[in-house]
A and B are shown apart, each in its own frame.
Chain A
Amino acid sequence: MSSPLKPLEQHWWSIPASRYEKLWVWISAVWGVVLFGWMVAWSFIGHQNQHGPTYRIDPMAYRSKLIAYREASVSTAQGLRPAGEDVYLAAMRYGFDGLPVVLKAGKTYRFHLSSYDVQHGLSIRPEHALSKQITLQLLPGYEWVIPMRFDEPGIYRVICNEFCGLGHQVMQGVFIVEE
């Protein structure tokens, strides 16, 4: 009897396995290569990759950059209109500095993301389709620059989904993507 509770008489490596089990191991190994390979391939052929340079920066230095960006942008009733391709965002307790902002659909912007104080989660979705959402982690001391291009016009809602203190549940922001 082959018991899991008893020591073995012979060396375990030499005990044969059934052909179904061996076949399953091969299938699983191939599936593992597919899982890995597709992720790597997507980095080259896919359009959704959280890939962008990260810079170490003191939160207050980042705040100065954001203030400079705000001054260079046009301030409207609907939000900031960035002058160029850079959009600056900072999460803080408890809101998003740099929002609201008005963007053009189909244009690629460089989003600069950071936090002034503690860890926050940047969670974005269009208002009319809650299923389409992503989250990026925002850390104090790091500026992450990720290009994003929104093709669908609409109102996009931002909430924080990383616990950041007792005001976490009132944190929200908005940005508009227009034609």
Chain B
Amino acid sequence: MALQQVDPSVQLNGTAEPSATMPPAGWRRLSRGQRLWRLIKSIYYASSPGWQVLKSGALFFFGFFCWAAGNLLHAYLPGVYWPKVLILYGALLFWWGPLTHLMLVPRLIPWLRRQQRYPILHWLGGHFSLTMFTVFFTTIGVLSLNPPSFMVLDVRGRLHRPVQVAQEPAAMLPELNCTRSSHQISCTLTHLPKTVVRIEVSSGTRRLLVLHAPQPTFTLSEGDLVEMLGTREFHVTLYTADGRPLREFVRTTAFF
């Protein structure tokens, strides 16, 4: 595989530059701010494949990071305004950045600069970075006046019911109590809801009991239980009508 050739940078406001980050003529006469702007522009316009990939990749991941960090801050500080701007910035950047640097800068700008018929297009080709930055940040400015809510992630654990603590019903799950006497284990289930249609009791791979319809008590013989690491254990699973487990219990003889 041949070495990657460095593409000469696109003409920058009339100045030809052999390398994207080489200082142009007259560098010393510029102020710090002007030098920084020139550096940013030179990176913006650099379009060799290596530049394209790394710029787009960096903006893609940075955009997602800003979106997520904004959402995280918003979740902790719901009344504060600034996280929403960060969300907006990230949500725009993660696609705008790669679009600009993979598509527009390498392909659109050279086309624009070749346009003679419509001077506005030629002008756009020469002032692309300034125009794009203006459009991007103006969009953010406008949208941040009323940030759209679809970009904000909902972080609630119950999405449909409004939370009113005082009216919270009892969250009582079924409970299993067992006692052991002379190698017999008697178990009782409490708070068993009507939605439970099947109860399975198993030990290891051995199915011991299958009870249909909610039956609160059952008895097991200790000898039927599979021994494991010095104790015997059994599993009790309560199933609802759709076949999914509502609650599971593991009891070992050491537990009694």
Q: Which residues of A contact B (CB under 8 A)?
A: 60, 77-79, 92-95, 100, 116-117, 125, 127-132, 153-155, 157, 165-167, 170, 174, 176, 178
Smallest CB-CB separation from A127: which chain B residue? B157
| 10 A-B pairs with the lowest CB-CB distances in the bound complex, closest first | A167-B248, A131-B75, A93-B250, A127-B157, A77-B170, A130-B155, A174-B171, A94-B248, A100-B171, A131-B155
Q: How far is the CA of A29 from the CA of B236 in the complex (A)?
A: 56
Question: Is the beta-carbon distance between B156 and A130 smaller than 8 angstroms?
Answer: yes
Query: Is B165 part of the binding interface, using a Cβ–Cβ cutoff of 8 Å?
Result: yes
Q: How far is the CA of A133 from the CA of B234 in the complex (A)?
A: 33
Question: Is the beta-carbon distance between A132 and B165 smaller than 8 angstroms?
Answer: no
Q: Which of A60, A79, A129 contacts B155 (CB 8 A)?
A: A129
Q: How far is the CA of A100 from the CA of B165 in the complex (A)?
A: 14
Q: How far is the CA of A144 from the CA of B12 in the complex (A)?
A: 66
Q: How far is the CA of A72 from the CA of B235 in the complex (A)?
A: 30
- Give chain B's interface secondary structure class: mixed
Contacts A94-B247, A154-B163; A116 near B255 (Cβ below 8 A):
yes
With a cutoff of 8 Å between Cβ atoms, the chain B residues found around residue A132 in the complex are 75-76
Question: Is the beta-carbon distance between B168 and A165 smaller than 8 angstroms?
Answer: no
Question: Is the beta-carbon distance between A128 and B255 smaller than 8 angstroms?
Answer: no
Q: How far is the CA of A153 from the CA of B164 in the complex (A)?
A: 11
Q: Which of B75, B163, B172, B247 contacts A130 (CB 8 A)?
A: B75
With a cutoff of 8 Å between Cβ atoms, the chain B residues found around residue A125 in the complex are 157
Contacts A170-B245, A176-B165; A131 near B254 (Cβ below 8 A):
no
Q: How far is the CA of A121 from the CA of B124 in the complex (A)?
A: 58
Q: How far is the CA of A170 from the CA of B163 in the complex (A)?
A: 23
With a cutoff of 8 Å between Cβ atoms, the chain A residues found around residue B157 in the complex are 125, 127-128, 130, 157
